[in-house]
Structure 1
Amino acid sequence: MGTVESYDTGAGRRYRVRYRTPDRKQTDKRGFRTKREAELYLATVEVSKATGEYIDPARSRTTIGELGPNWLAAKRTRLKPSSYKALEDAWRVYVAPGWGATTVPAVTYSDARAWVSQLSAGAAKTDRRDHIRSRGQGARPKSATVVIRAHGVLASVLDIAVRDRRISHNPARGIDNLPRKERKPHQYLTHAEIQRLATASGTHATLIYLAAYTGLRWGELTALRVRDVDALRRRLAVTESAVRVGAEIHVGSPKTHELRSVPYPEFLELPIAKLCEGKPRDALLFGGGLDYLQRPRASGKSRSWFVRALDDAGLERMTVHDLRHTAASLAISSGANVKAVQRMLGHASAAMTLDVHADLFDDDLDTVSASLNAARAASIAKA
């Protein structure tokens, strides 16, 4: 057990608590105004030691700014460059400026909740505490994705503090005011619309067809090499993905790290063969064979070839990535089962395919209702 001792100061008598930490080191805490306060603190310390929840005050002086870089460094070894860049940006732009100088025990649920609200609303800080005011990020509201990611970074750093026994719990977890992501409606093209878009795309026609009929991501399409084409089986081996992060192209495994073989329709045999003509096996399928194609912009002052093609084809604005949804739609409408569509798209699971493209199965609800009605009628007729 520890001890409580009194001592005199210029402001009057104060009390000091002396105790040993779980590793048997002597330490103390002073400044208690009454003996009762000191005894209650000592009792709390002894209970926390007995339950394994003791927090060393010296270790809890660590700031968010000190823990964050180590957390990011660990993430860098596991994440793809594009995913890491998003987390690093959230840390650098939002979390470090707002919380970097704050010690981990000073973070409260209310402060974290207010920070999330202010990011969402883009409102200037009006809190009475200076360290809270400094967390303002301008008057422009941030998107739900940005806010959720920034909160996730703060909460994850505090998770490390909990595991290190710097704090007993994570005050940033369980916040109830995180914004909701609103999923925009998918755009699905018909066969005729794909034909018009491909024709309007000129030299990029084969790329459009492959995106719309295989569902490959842009990075997977532009990373295809001649050696990945199996003309006899009409298959494409998806083994790499080229993703632009900042000004650099990073080439790595596909998004889910799963290598896969994707079929392409027979009508694309000749166009793909023409892309392979005169190129060595290691050459890129699209473009000159050496440089990766840049993703066309879907908006902006200067119209990209893709935007011009959409306009010429009389189609609404969309992105190249939206053609993945068209591929899923066409595959499902042609009778492909969900597991096959999952493998084609490179989703981590069939459940993800169903979740992302649930709207494609709305018509099945009518079939369920009609089937139930027919089953009931047949049962009653037999009775």
Structure 2
Amino acid sequence: MGSVTPYDTAAGRRWRVRYRTPEHVQTDKRGFTTKRDAELYLANVEISKASGSFVSAAAARVTVGELAAEWLANKQQSMKPSSYHSIAVSWRVYVGPRWATTPVGAIRASAVEQWIRQLGQGTAVTHKSGGKTVPAAQARPRSATVVLRALGVLAGVLDMALKDGRVPKNVARRTEGAPRKVSNKPRRYLSHAEVARFAAAAATPTQRTMIVLLAYCGLRWGEAVGLQVRDLNMLRRRLQISRTATEVDGKILVGAPKSWEKRAVPFPAVLAEPLAHLCEGKAPDDLVFADRFGQFLRRPKTSAGTSSWFLDALVASDIERLTPHDLRHTAASLAVSSGANVKAVQRMLGHKSAAMTLDTYADLFEDDLDEVAERLDEGARRANLADVWARN
């Protein structure tokens, strides 16, 4: 149990609280103007020690930046390079400029909510490449994705502080005012005829085969360009997805597929000959889709004001602007329209669960409800269920 003792100062009598931390280290806090305030503080200390929520003043003084260095090192060890890159950039550009020098014990929920609002409005201080500070007056509003990622980084660092007993709770979790990600972009599904027209407009066999592969197999770009000759089973018409080649800061990083899960993806017979042609004269470790130097194909630019072979083919085929990832949506649509069930689509796309596939492509399965009702009606008619209402 601690003690409360008085001492004299030039400003008058003050009170000191002496107590031991859970680690049995004696410490004190001085400056209380009344004995009652000192006794209340001591009571709170004893209660927090008993409940396991005690936080020492010294532990709470560690800064967000000091903990972030360790947190980021852990993330770099456990995450794929492309995923780690996004949170490292978020820390450097958005989180660090605001919180790096702030003690974890001094962060209040209201301050976090204000920061979230400022990021969304474009009034938060940020950094750009090279570490130069961007004044609030020159900042611009950030998207919900950017804001939520920054908030997640801060919350992750404070999770570490909570585990270490440096804060009693994580004020960055369950904050008010966090934006919601809402996409206003309508999802575009190409028909078989549009895929054929799009592929025919491409300039080279490699480009044409890539378009059809993305539209019919649902591979992510990194999975497609990471394919090696050994990954093709021409007899069973299967693609073995065991790695992905992701471009990060202009460099291609090869790693495990998304969610770390390997999978086999079927490809239609129409792709057998074009794929075989791309593999001619290549060794098992060679890339199926390669540039003229035998290196990884770079993702074609598709944003407004840019140019690429992908955009040229879209213009030539009179199809509105799409991205390579949009062809993944087309693959899901064509699979469902061909009669594939949700589990088959899940496995093809590499989703973690069928629930995720349904959440992502719920609109594609709406017609299935009509089919269910029709089949139920057929069964009911065979059982003469209508006779139930014919009875007196």
TM-score band by shorter chain is over 0.9
Tell me how far apart the structure 1 counterparts of residues 253 and 357 of structure 2 sit (CA, whole Å).
26
The one-letter amino acid of 1:345's match is L
Tell me how far apart the structure 2 counterparts of residues 207 and 138 of structure 1 sit (CA, whole Å).
42
The one-letter amino acid of 2:189's match is Y
Tell me how far apart the structure 2 counterparts of residues 139 and 61 of structure 1 sit (CA, whole Å).
30
- Report the counterpart of residue 128 of structure 2 in structure 1: none
**Residue 222 of structure 1, CA deviation:** 0.5
- Deviation digits for residues 185-243 of structure 1 (CA, Å, limit 9, x no counterpart): 32100000000100111211001011111011111110111111111111111111100
Tell me how far apart the structure 2 counterparts of residues 52 and 68 of structure 1 sit (CA, whole Å).
24
Pairing 1:241–2:247 present: no
Tell me how far apart the structure 1 counterparts of residues 379 and 119 of structure 2 sit (CA, whole Å).
54
More deviation in 279-288 or 55-64? 279-288
Q: Name structure 1 gaps, 5 residues minimum.
A: 126-133
- Report the counterpart of residue 277 of structure 1 in structure 2: 280
Q: 5 Å matches for 1:110-149?
A: 110-123=110-123, 136=136, 138-149=138-149
- Report the counterpart of residue 13 of structure 1 in structure 2: 13
- Report the counterpart of residue 131 of structure 2 in structure 1: none
Tell me how far apart the structure 1 counterparts of residues 65 and 377 of structure 2 sit (CA, whole Å).
63
The one-letter amino acid of 1:342's match is Q
The one-letter amino acid of 1:208's match is I
The one-letter amino acid of 1:83's match is S
- Report the counterpart of residue 329 of structure 1 in structure 2: 333
- Report the counterpart of residue 22 of structure 1 in structure 2: 22
Equivalent residues of 2:203, 2:309 under 8 A apart: no
In the alignment of these two chains, the number of paired residues is 375
Tell me how far apart the structure 2 counterparts of residues 124 and 157 of structure 1 sit (CA, whole Å).
20
Q: Name structure 2 gaps, 5 residues minimum.
A: 126-133
Change (3 A) 1:320 1:308: same
Please point out which of 297, 303, 323 is paired with 1:299: 303
More deviation in 364-373 or 200-209? 364-373
Identity %: 55
Equivalent residues of 2:115, 2:124 under 8 A apart: no
Pairing 1:171–2:149 present: no
Secondary structure of 2:245's partner? Answer: strand
- Report the counterpart of residue 129 of structure 2 in structure 1: none
Tell me how far apart the structure 2 counterparts of residues 34 and 245 of structure 1 sit (CA, whole Å).
60
Equivalent residues of 2:229, 2:288 under 8 A apart: yes
User: Any runs of at least 4 consecutive aligned residues in structure 1 with deviations exceeding 3 A, and if so which?
Assistant: 134-139, 364-381
Equivalent residues of 2:120, 2:144 under 8 A apart: yes
- Report the counterpart of residue 87 of structure 2 in structure 1: 87
Tell me how far apart the structure 2 counterparts of residues 350 and 289 of structure 1 sit (CA, whole Å).
40
Secondary structure of 2:78's partner? Answer: coil
Equivalent residues of 2:218, 2:332 under 8 A apart: yes
The one-letter amino acid of 1:196's match is R
The one-letter amino acid of 1:219's match is G
Change (3 A) 1:310 1:360: same
Please point out which of 365, 368, 388 is paired with 1:382: 388
Please point out which of 311, 318, 340 is paired with 2:322: 318
- Report the TM-score when normalising by structure 2: 0.91
**Residue 372 of structure 1, CA deviation:** 7.3
More deviation in 312-321 or 362-371? 362-371
Equivalent residues of 2:279, 2:288 under 8 A apart: yes
Secondary structure of 1:256's partner? Answer: helix
Equivalent residues of 1:99, 1:135 under 8 A apart: no
- Report the counterpart of residue 131 of structure 1 in structure 2: none
Tell me how far apart the structure 1 counterparts of residues 38 and 180 of structure 2 sit (CA, whole Å).
46
